[in-house]
Chains A and B, each alone.
Chain A
Amino acid sequence: MAGLAGRLRKRPPKYSAAALAWKGLRGQSWPRVWRDCDLQRSYDAVVIGGGVHGLATAYYLARNHGMTNVAVLDKAYLGSGGSGRNTAIVRSNYLTPEGVAFYDRSVHLYEQMAVELNINVMFSQRGHLTLAHSDASLRTMHWRAEVNKLGGVNSSVIGPDEIKKECPSLDTSDHPRYPIHGALYHPPGGVVRHDAVVWGYARAADHMGVEMHQKTEVTDILCEGGDGPDGKGAGGRVTGVRTNRGDISSPIVINCTAGWASLISTMAGVRLPITTHPLQAAVTEPVKMFLPTVVVSGSLHVYVSQTDRGELVFGASVDPYANYSVRGSLEFTEGLAGHVLELMPGVSRMRILRQWSGLCDMTPDYSPVMGFTPVDGFLVDVGWGTYGFKAAPVSGEQMAEAAATGRTPKLIEAFALSRFDNGELVGEKGAASVGH
């Protein structure tokens, strides 16, 4: 095993306009952004899942806690799961004080990310409108606005006239089947280029010596001393992981997977309060910019934003039954398009270019499951439902602190797996982007 000095690499050239011009004029190509490493037999920590959560956890382990002997394992390629399939929306206008504090920290980390990681993540804080189509949802918007203000988050309820001013393409008349009564307006909300976040964390973690192993599938988690078979289960401790490329020993294993969270945790004998549902999304052909904010309608099960290329990105609610297949279904896309048309009749001639789905691990209270488990050394950062991408930086930061110090940080205490024992659920269904 190489020593620490061997693992730290010379920092490659920074990304900048000058570097782009210099390399462009000289016809130079850019170096590979991260290394391919040989799999070592032992690490100080193993992170399962090479998406934004896993990479952010590895990055903060190295940056904040000096743990660089860390491996990130992914069974496919980095960012192949939810990190590349989400609709890239970032916001902090949640319903519970715990959720607001947590996601607010995430928005702050996103604001610093481009400078910190030296990559253009294209964070566009264009504002976020959550539409209310009924008195009941308007009441929830007021509730959220007050909780947000107490948490120091810029969020307020606005009426149809102000909505029209922010977003002229929305039909705010009383003609639609579900007229718009008001909206929760959240100016710091916006969209981020999700692939750049994956690449940024991977590049920064690689610079600090973290190893990323793609096409490395975890087939088992090795434990000892537990009350289940093979020493797994409560009371035991983790000793390593078995992969398709051999066994790795490690005192800390962090499950940062989405979609496969239950399957990975079952390997350590930990059952989770999670069911996996696919979420379908679609994108249209590009047109000129006309939609200045992110628009969400819980009642119509849709959220929509316009990318910098001009495409409309829609997301829906999760499929109604548990499923691991990511095939789309026509009736879902059709329903989604119908809901968008109800909000914005003007886009009726736009064509849908692509449709895809990603797996969402839904928990009963629409909050994640983070931190320690009954198996010593096995940590989880799972149950991210439909809100994982917007929480990636803060989750990485907090999970790294938990893993490195052995204590649960205050910001994620409320999201512990043990909340289901104590009946202390953190109900965020009212602030999940769409009613599920």
Chain B
Amino acid sequence: MLLVLCPNCGPRNSTDLRYGGESHARPDPNTASPAEWRAYLYLRDNPAGWLRENWYCASGCRRWFSIERNTATNEFRDPPLPGDKRGGAA
């Protein structure tokens, strides 16, 4: 079980949250090329190491936030502060 550090609710069991995958900036729909959309929609870095990712605090504050996690060791770092608007957009 992972303990995920929610900026509003503090450490919560990962079963209280929903995983939102890698955090990438959304391209501008007015200017993005099809290749950029494809990369945004489907392609992933999937590193074995530090990764900025999104979580949704489904059973707590019901906010999206982004945090860095090491996918090999499951350590967390750089949690956002409450009110931080980074969630989902990196």
Contact among B14, B38, B45 with A320 in the assembled complex (CB-CB below 8 Å): B14
Q: Is B19 a contact partner of A320 (Cβ separation < 8 A)?
A: yes
Residues A319-377 near B (CB distance < 8 A) = 320-325, 329-331, 364
A320 to B28, CA, bound (A): 29
* Distance (whole angstroms) from the CB of A321 to the closest CB of chain B: 4
Q: How large is the interface on A (under 10, 10 to 19, 20 to 34, 35 or more residues)?
A: 20 to 34
For the complex formed, measure the closest distance between the CB of A324 and the CB atoms of chain B, giving whole angstroms: 4
B25 within 8 A of A: no
Number of A-B contacts (CB under 8 A): 64
Judged by a CB distance under 8 angstroms, whether B46 is at the interface is: yes
Q: Is the CB of B44 within 8 A of A262?
A: yes
Min CB gap A133→B, angstroms: 21
- Is residue A274 contacting chain B, with contact meaning CB distance below 8 A? yes
Within 8 A of B (CB), among A271-294: 271-276
> Is A322 within 8 A of B45, CB to CB?
no
Complex CA distance for A273 and B45, rounded to whole angstroms: 9
Q: CA of A57 to CA of B65 in the docked complex: distance in angstroms?
A: 43
The one of A260, A322, A329, A420 in contact with B1, judged by C-beta atoms closer than 8 angstroms, is A329
The reply to whether B51 and A322 form a contact with Cβ atoms under 8 Å apart is yes
Q: Scoring A residues 129 to 147 as 1 if CB is less than 8 Å from chain B, else 0, what string do you get? A: 0000000000000000000
Find A262's partner among B18, B19, B46 (CB 8 Å cutoff): B46
A275 lies within 8 A of B21 (CB): yes
**Measured between C-beta atoms, what is the minimum distance from A420 to chain B in Å?**
5
Residue of B1, B18, B46, B74 near A276 (CB, 8 A) is B46
Complex interface: chain B residues within 8 A of A275 (CB): 21-22, 44, 46
Bound form: Cα–Cα A435–B69 in Å: 25
- Chain A residues positioned under 8 Å from B43 (CB to CB): 271-273, 420
Q: How far is the CA of A364 from the CA of B46 in the complex (A)?
A: 13
Evaluate contact between B42 and A273: CB separation under 8 angstroms: yes
Central interface residue in A260, A273, A320, A322, by most chain B CB within 10 Å: A322
Q: What are 16 A-B residue pairs whose CB atoms fall within 8 Å in the complex?
A: A262-B44, A263-B46, A266-B45, A275-B44, A320-B14, A320-B18, A321-B19, A322-B19, A322-B51, A322-B53, A325-B72, A325-B74, A331-B15, A364-B41, A420-B43, A421-B35
B interface residues (Cβ-Cβ under 8 A, vs A):
1-2, 14-15, 18-19, 21-22, 34-35, 38-39, 41-48, 51, 53, 71-74
Name the 3 nearest CB pairs between A and B, nearest first. Answer: A262-B46, A273-B42, A321-B19
